[in-house]
A = this chain, B = another copy of it.
Amino acid sequence: MRSKVTINDVAQIAGVSKTTVSFYLNGKYAKMSDDTKKRIEETIEKTGFQPSAVARSLNNKSTHLLGVIIGDITNSFANQIVRGIEDYARLNKYQLIVGSSDYKLENEIQYVKSMVAMGVDGFIIQPTVNFEEGWQKLNYKDKPIVYFDSPNRNTKGFWVKTNNYEAVYEACDLLIEKGYKKFVLVTADPEVLTTRLERYRGFVDNMNLKQINYDVLVADMNTSIEEIESKIVPLLETEENVCVFVCNNWLLTKVYQALKDVRHLMPEKLGLIGFDSLEWTELASPSITTIIQPAYEEGKTAASILIDALEERNNEPPNQILKCNINELESTNLK
């Protein structure tokens, strides 16, 4: 049994050449009588024929496939982005191949290679700092690429980002005004991601300018809760109005646990602010103030930039900076 019906089958059954069927498929009805058109239509309906995108791609060069490489799909920020990309892509008849790099260059490169082999039309990537170099070496000159949060100098490179520097800077303004005196920045290695670096700088610049006392605690996935605890809790004995500023979502969870024994001091003696909208930040008591990035919008925007580039619509300046919002809740409500 033939499992798959092809354009040849349709042509034969409808009694026309495959050229005509191809014309029909592409809406080129000019050279076609209404009768022929109807016969083809019926044959397709009857056989359930669906043209092979693979065969199509072979001459088109376009697969209508987008390569999406993010750090980790289980991260809520990342998956909201992906969902944004997906929704926009679907409306424009594109599909997504998705890969998690675990923030490692080698994985990014591996995915880029296999996605190119697969024929993706372009890329959307949340890159690690050295990605640009690796990308240049690969020399895929004709594949457009959109970066998240990491402007690049690549000719064909577009980007979308959020105003990390300003958002953190302004949050610091707010917190200082509220009356917090001593700050602890908790961040993952700022040299790995542009985002982290920008947030770090927004924080440090503001602190230095206003001559506020601060510590920086660099942590990673493997840093234990206890270690974080030991770096923060003792400060509460010697300092007034401490505020902990956590620079990404997965670290916030750790810090929240580390503060277990001193949570009752919030928001007066201890403030806490994090990044991104996690389900629990609003449910916690006290609820946690966070800087919210418009992740879904970022995804949508990235997809629109890429697809516009692919289809050579250049309606608007491509690169965009989206604004973060501060969701002020109880954890920083010092009066």
Contacts and interface: CB of A to CB of B under 8 A. Distances in A.
A154 interface: no
A266 interface: no
A58 B118 CA distance: 12
Interface in A113-148: 113-119, 138-139, 141-142
Contacts of A65: 97, 118
Interface stretch (A8-16, A44-52, A192-200): A44-52
Nearest to A65: B118
A270 B166 CA distance: 45
A116 B53 CA distance: 9
A150 interface: no
A253 interface: yes
Given A117-B51, A279-B279, A73 B63 contact: no
A82 interface: yes
A86 B73 contact: yes
B283 A53 contact: no
Contacts of A280: 278-280, 283-284
Contacts of A74: 76, 79-80, 83
Interface string A142-171: 100000000000000000000000000000
A256 B278 contact: no
A115 B73 CA distance: 20
Nearest to A67: B95
Interface string A239-269: 0000000000000010011001001000000
Contact of A55 (B58, B93, B113): B58
Contacts of A7: none
Contacts of A100: 83, 86
Copies of this chain per assembly: 2
A58 B54 contact: yes
A119 B65 CA distance: 12
Contact of A79 (B79, B95, B119): B79
Given A54-B119, A113-B50, A115-B95, A83 B76 contact: no
Contacts of A90: 99
Given A3-B142, A55-B58, A74-B83, A50 B117 contact: yes
A96 interface: yes
A105 interface: no
Given A99-B95, A114-B95, A283-B284, A54 B48 contact: no
23 contacts: A50-B116, A50-B117, A51-B117, A53-B119, A54-B119, A65-B97, A73-B86, A74-B79, A83-B100, A86-B99, A86-B100, A90-B99, A95-B114, A97-B98, A98-B98, A256-B283, A257-B283, A278-B279, A278-B280, A279-B280, A280-B284, A283-B284, A285-B285
Given A54-B119, A65-B118, 10 more contacts: A48-B138, A50-B117, A53-B114, A53-B117, A54-B57, A82-B98, A260-B285, A279-B280, A280-B283, A283-B284
